[in-house]
Amino acid sequence: MATLEESQGRTRDQRSVYERYQDAAAEAGELDTPLFSVEVTADGRPTDIEREEAEDEVIEDITSPFDPEHIDIDTRTTTVDLLLSRLRNEMIDLAPDFQRKAGIWTDGKQSRLIESLLLRIPIPSFYAAEKKDGSWAIVDGIQRLTSIARFVEPQTVGADPLKLTGLEYLRNFDEASFADLSGKLQIRLRETEVVVHVIRRGTPEPVMFNVFARINTGGEPLTRQEIRHALIPGRARTLLAELAETEEFRRATGYSVVGDRMADREMVLRFLAFRMTSPHAYKPGDFDAFLAEAMHQVNRLDSADEDRLRTEFVTAMLAAEEIFGHHAFRKYRRNQQRKSPINKALFEAIAVNLASLDDDDRDVLRQTDVLDAFAELMEDPEFERAISVGTGDARKVRKRFDAVKELFGNALDEARRDPAL
């Protein structure tokens, strides 16, 4: 029979996420700040963005989120030359602004890939989504294909020619360009066979998204926003980048959101999604699919709606910084000095609610001690779980948006009763 201690060890920890982090901080000797699990950059460095936890679930049966018959993947063995031909004829979409800033391959790393091809060492497969016109959107393998193109036909990717450097074995090829290779080696490169897994057009987008989310070819798995970016071309790509690069967003987030894994663009997208669709209209289901549909909505916006959303976003960022200071979009407890990481669920709830207020209300909030009332809200375990665990759950979405709305409403009511304001 299990001892009492063993039974207690299997009991689910009922403390709030925040309390568990606080205890971890105490054990680490950092009593003034919690230790949060954070996202990482492409090269493994910790970011200032809190990692969202999945809801605890007991899995009893194997179920499918979709009919497996809908998965139509065509595995093709092609050549480097045929891939370059597709690039020349604009039948491959490399999503040119899809760049992991810290993870962009150096000339040395690109050169070692070419060295592998010259040595006839197989390279990882490419993954692509087939579009209606038959072109491919490369989802996994962008850096590899860009490296090959830079060396063989740099004009196809609008890049400077690659000269080999930092080679491990073929050191006599250092500083060599493609033109410097013998005709035999040039043909070897062009005729090198590579494998491309193409998800055929007609495959439902949620199915396609799920398949790509499971891909990990040995590097860092793609983030959800990286997949959305690759699969959904259009104005949304550039608008998210533009808003993420605004000074107002960068200042409100303390210049601490690293964009190499597109976390900044995901935050912008979450704001836009809930400005275009009320949190109360958000239906239970796949949060990722909701954000993907929001990108399609952005692609369909007219200029007037786009300008309105841009203004609302910038206005919300300015207000958040002035109202919450350096704790904007971060979990906070009274008298906490050091900053917690940025919390995406808090970001969307606070930013969207601020955008829905008028200028007079935002001015009143700027003169009110909202931070102290927010610390009190953070004591609510239900609210805290709504911004920490399973944040795509419809009930938790409504909980956090309603709670922040009530927070601002109470602060405004109290301020209006104060004759000094």
Least confident of 176-190, 218-232, 321-335: 218-232
Contact 334, 321 (CB under 8 A): no
Question: What is residue 332's three-state secondary structure?
Answer: coil
Residue 267 CA to residue 261 CA, distance in Å, equals 12
Quick: pLDDT tens for 145-166: 999 999 999 999 888 999 999 9
Per-residue pLDDT at 19: 55
* Mean pLDDT score of the chain: 85
Residue 97: per-residue pLDDT? 60
Cα 127 from Cα 215, distance rounded (Å): 9
Take residue 235 and report the two structure tokens written for it.
Answer: 């104005």
pLDDT digits (tens, 9 = 90+) for 74-87: 999 999 999 999 99
| pLDDT of 281 above 70 | yes
More confident residue, 23 or 214: 214
**Mean pLDDT across 349-376:** 96
pTM listed for this prediction: 0.77
Say which residue, 306 or 97, is predicted with more confidence: 306
CB proximity list for 171: less than 8 A, separation 6 or greater: none
Give residue-wise pLDDT tens across range 187-238.
999 999 999 999 998 888 888 887 887 775 545 677 889 889 888 989 999 9
Please report, rounded to a whole number, the percentage of residues in the chain having pLDDT higher than 70: 82
Domain boundaries, the chain: 72-202, 235-417
For CA atoms 412, 416, 419, 421, the dihedral sign is positive
Banded model confidence at residue 38, pLDDT cuts 50, 70, 90: confident
What does each C-alpha distance from 412 to 249, 331, 374 come to in angstroms?
Answer: 24, 21, 13
pLDDT value at residue 420: 63
